[in-house]
Amino acid sequence: MHKTKIKPFFPLIAAGILCLVLTGCVLFQKTPPARAPRQHHVDVKAQQKYYDLGLQQYTKESYGEAKESFEQVIEFGPNTALGQKAQENLKKIQRILKTLEEIESK
């Protein structure tokens, strides 16, 4: 009878299959979800204080001081509701100051 020599190749084949299986396991491994960026703590009371101060200064037409107060509000938290309102108020102040400069230059 004719015997085939499989035994010398068996360890190589087994090692190859093991490598393929392990590689596949690594490739299909679930990756952990990305962490959300840490949000810094917003001092809500201080933000409200500066927002209210900015409104008072705006009402008195103290636009430079109001601008500084609203900038402080934004620094405390640009994405909060007050931060968004402060950004809108800053745009209004910038338009007012620009208009005043144009009037004064004439």
> How do residues 44-103 score in pLDDT, each as one tens digit?
999 999 999 999 999 999 999 999 999 999 999 999 999 999 999 999 999 999 999 999
DSSP 77: -
DSSP3 helix / strand / coil % (the chain, rounded to 5): 70, 0, 30
pLDDT attached to residue 19: 54
Q: pTM for this one?
A: 0.61
Mean pLDDT of 26-49: 68
- Look at 30 and 41; give whichever has higher pLDDT: 41
